[in-house]
């Protein structure tokens, strides 16, 4: 089969012919890829940022946002059958460790991560497990929802955590209305009665945010903190969700926060520099967010099937993987780029 592979850090991906994955254990599931999301993490992988953490042996196939059709199943698989439309949770988990028993499978002690530390979905077929596949509604197409498997799932996880503490009338400031942010905005709109203030340096992204439910859009041109404070009566937002995490966003996020507020960090790239006395005196909370659980993905698919969450996509044939990566890196993608074999 065709697959786009990392052959060296600091080098472009290369298309290669590789063996099609085979069933080797009772709970294996082979998925025929209908769409693979292109994520900024893929750029970081190519830069070598994940090399030490993943410990993967090159060459290997990236792509951790995948959806498609079940192609083959192991002898013990009962939750899906050949031909089913599915979205793939990004982790393959054991189901037996303490974290899995608690339903916190994101922290599985024996997990593997296709596209990060094993073969991913920039290919025609992907090998995963029965614990990782979620059947999707007939109204949904794999290429339309593929990026919900990670970008959407991460955004849902953060927004759902934030929503538990947001009361009607509270203000939630969202930094970044790109691939993750535009999903998080829709989730917040569907699950809370909070007033949403969205901040992005790109005017088109701000327009999109308002179109999909934001109550206020703020273009980050240097006075974004002051504008958010003005919109919140000088107090700041009860919750800030930062989908950027670099380029000064963390300083802005903390400055936009109300006393005793929650600052949810989703994007990454820079350090948070807050004097401990400020954390103590204002009782603010700094909250990290990883990808969501299998159950989070099931809930997100309900919102997608009901039309509450729609992914804005730009689709590319698999062989145009470099164009998709270049467009993402240059900021030309509104929403998410999807590779379609």
Tens digits of residue pLDDT in 233-277: 999 999 999 999 999 999 999 999 999 999 999 998 899 999 999
CB-CB neighbours of 8 under 10 Å: 11
Residue 54 reports pLDDT greater than 90? no
Most confident of 50-59, 271-280, 328-337: 271-280
Q: Name residue 103's beta-bridge partners.
A: none
**pLDDT value, residue 8:** 96
CB 4 within 8 Å of CB 13? yes
pLDDT band, residue 312 (cuts 50/70/90): confident
**pLDDT value, residue 268:** 87
Distances (CA, A) of 149 to 153, 169, 209, 279, 304: 6, 31, 21, 34, 12
Residue 129 reports pLDDT greater than 90? yes
pLDDT band, residue 335 (cuts 50/70/90): confident
Q: Which domains does the chain have, with CATH numbers?
A: 2-150+291-340 (3.90.180.10), 153-288 (3.40.50.720)
**pLDDT value, residue 108:** 96
187 vs 163: CA distance, rounded Å: 9
Mean pLDDT of 139-153: 95
Residue 334 reports pLDDT greater than 80? no
65 vs 54: CA distance, rounded Å: 17
42 vs 339: CA distance, rounded Å: 13
CB 126 within 8 Å of CB 70? no
The sheet with strand 14-17 has its strands ordered as 14-17, 2-6, 60-61
Per-residue pLDDT of 95-123, as tens digits, reads 999 999 999 999 999 999 999 999 999 99
Q: pTM score, two decimals?
A: 0.91
**pLDDT value, residue 78:** 97
The percentage of the chain sitting over the pLDDT mark of 90, rounded to a whole number, equals: 92
Mean pLDDT of 146-159: 95
Classify residue 310 as exposed, middle or buried by CB count within 10 Å of its CB (0-12, 13-18, 19+).
middle
Least confident window among 16-20, 38-42, 254-258, 273-277: 38-42
Positive or negative: CA dihedral 155, 160, 166, 170: positive
How many helices and strands, by DSSP H and E, does the chain display?
Answer: 12, 16
């Amino acid at each position: 089969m065709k697959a786009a592979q990392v052959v060296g850090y600091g080098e472009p991906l290369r298309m290669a012919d590789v063996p099609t994955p085979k069933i080797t254990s009772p709970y294996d599931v082979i998925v025929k890829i209908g769409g693979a999301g292109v994520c900024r993490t893929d750029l970081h992988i190519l830069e070598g940022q994940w090399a030490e953490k993943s410990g993967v042996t090159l060459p290997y196939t990236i792509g951790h946002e995948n959806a498609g059709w079940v192609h083959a199943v192991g002898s013990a698989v009962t939750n899906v059958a050949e031909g089913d439309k599915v979205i793939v949770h990004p982790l393959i988990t054991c189901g037996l460790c303490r974290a899995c028993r608690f339903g916190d499978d994101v922290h599985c002690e024996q997990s593997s991560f296709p596209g990060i530390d094993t073969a991913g979905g920039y290919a025609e077929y992907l090998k995963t497990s029965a614990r990782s596949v979620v059947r999707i509604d007939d109204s949904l197409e794999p290429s339309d929802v593929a990026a919900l498997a990670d970008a959407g799932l991460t955004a849902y996880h953060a927004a759902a955590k934030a929503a538990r503490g947001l009361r009607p009338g509270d203000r939630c400031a969202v930094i970044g209305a790109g691939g993750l942010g535009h999903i998080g905005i829709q989730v917040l709109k569907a699950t809370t009665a909070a007033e949403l203030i969205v901040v992005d340096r790109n005017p088109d992204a701000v327009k999109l945010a308002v179109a999909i439910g934001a109550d206020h859009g703020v273009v980050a041109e240097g006075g974004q903190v002051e504008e958010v404070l003005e919109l919140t009566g000088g107090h700041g937002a009860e919750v800030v969700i930062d989908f950027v995490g670099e380029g000064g966003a963390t300083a802005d996020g903390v400055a936009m926060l109300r006393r005793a507020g929650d600052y949810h960090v989703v994007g990454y790239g820079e350090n948070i520099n807050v004097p401990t006395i400020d954390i103590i005196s204002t009782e603010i909370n700094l909250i990290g967010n990883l990808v969501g659980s299998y159950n989070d993905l099931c809930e997100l698919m309900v919102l997608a099937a009901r039309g509450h969450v729609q992914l804005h996509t730009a689709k590319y044939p698999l062989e145009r993987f470099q164009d998709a990566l270049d467009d993402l890196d240059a900021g030309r993608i509104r929403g998410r780029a999807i590779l379609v074999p």
